[in-house]
Structure 1
Amino acid sequence: MKKIVVLAAVAISAIACNKTTDVKEFKTAYIDTVKMMEEYNEAKELNEKFKTKGEVKGRELEVEAKKLQIEKENFQKNAMAKGQAWAQQKYAELQQRDQQLGYAQQAIMEQLQAEGGKERDSIVKQVREFIKSYGKEKGYDYVYGTGDAATVLYAKDSYDITKDVIKALNDKYAAKAKPAEAKKEEKK
């Protein structure tokens, strides 16, 4: 009797071990988001645009700062000769202009950051939508991101589709830019 029970238990175990559960394979990939934004042409152009804007505004402030510095040097030379009342009034004027220059610099930085932030957010939104449609088109179940906000701590290099996505993004951006350039040429 014991032999029959043991044999039944072994038979049930063998049958249970032979059952396989259906395991679905997922198609996954990841994108290095920092590298993508560094190599995406539209993002590069945006960075250059705001770098140039910042340099232009910076030169304007630099001219004003140099004028103020020259006046400060002249103030120091003339303070003794023109008297204490003049010196106090001129010193107050110079301090006020120095403060205004600081405020102007801060306002320019805030303006550039606000404008740049809006445009960067727009690009990020476009890229996310693109990656979503790219993933669907290529049959991916999951596309992860690495970079500053890493959501993937490790993945095989074979799952890296960063270059493919950058190329596709740049191709799409170039195609979008060509009609705009053609319209500019037609107006000339």
Structure 2
Amino acid sequence: MTKKGLVSLGTLALAFTTTLCLSSCGGNKAEQKSSPSTPAEVQATGLPIAFVNMDSVTSQYKFAQEIKASLEKDAAAHQTRLQSKGAAIQKAAVDFERRMRINAFVSAEAQQAEQQKLMRMQQEGQALSAELSEKLALKQQSLLEDMMKSVRDQLKEYNKDGRYKLILTKVGDNILYAEDALDITEDFIKYLNEHYNAADGLPSKADSASKK
């Protein structure tokens, strides 16, 4: 083969290599396209998945805020009742000890009767504490169930166009990893509060325990 022929083949090989390089580089550039950063972009990729951070919902949803305020109000009222009961028991105990010191009881039977009365007061105080704690716990459970029902019902309406096929609940660190674009919490909380009617919030049964 002549020198001229070798030069032509070399030129052809260089051009072919350059073409491959340009094609490859162009492909890599396409592959390096940034990941979707918004829910809308995620939907466009054909991955209809999202998640809602329930910690944010329970702190920012108006219904959840009302539940917290109601429970705190009941807890304060219960504490006032317990403190009043405790003060009465303390007063009776001090009076009993004083009468013991000065031998004010007319008989051993009278002293024993007074002591048993004091013991009953203490037992009543313990029973009241347990009763109020149970009522508060039951009310909390009932209201949280109402709130979760509200969240689920509103989520169905929020997603009535079917843009998401799977919506996960994020509580703490139960989701190991997820793109930020899958997080619809802020938008969903906005939807919740816009569609929340205070009149449909805390049911009347919610305050029944604190009135007893």
TM-score after normalising by structure 1: 0.73
SS of match in other structure, 2:168: strand
| 5+ residue gaps, structure 1 | 1-23, 181-188
Is the alpha carbon distance of 1:124 and 1:95 closer, same or farther for their aligned partners in structure 2, counting shifts above 3 Å? same
Amino acid at match of 2:142: K
Shift, 1:132, TM fit: 2.7
Q: Which residue pairs with 1:76 in the alignment?
A: 97
Which residue of 194, 197, 200 corresponds with 1:171? 194
Shift, 1:72, TM fit: 0.6
Q: Which residue pairs with 1:34 in the alignment?
A: 55
| 5+ residue gaps, structure 2 | 1-44, 202-212
Computed over aligned residues only, the root mean square deviation of the Cα atoms, in angstroms, reads: 2.3
Q: Distance in 2 between matches of 1:89 and 1:138?
A: 73
> Any conservation in 2 of the 1:79–1:86 contact (CA below 8 Å)?
no
Structure 1 stretch displaced more, 54-63 or 93-102: 54-63
Q: Distance in 2 between matches of 1:172 and 1:142?
A: 22
The answer as to 2:110 corresponding to 1:89 is: no
Per-residue CA deviations over 1:75-103 (Å, capped at 9, x if unaligned) read 11211313544333222111111111111
Structure 1 stretch displaced more, 159-168 or 51-60: 51-60
Q: Which runs of 4+ in 1 moved over 6 A?
A: none
Shift, 1:52, TM fit: 0.3
For this pair of structures, how many residues does the alignment match? 154
Q: Distance in 2 between matches of 1:93 and 1:170?
A: 53
Identity of aligned residues (%): 21
Q: Which is higher, the Rg of structure 1 or of structure 2?
A: 2
Per-residue CA deviations over 1:16-41 (Å, capped at 9, x if unaligned) read xxxxxxxx832211111122112111
The answer as to 2:133 corresponding to 1:109 is: yes
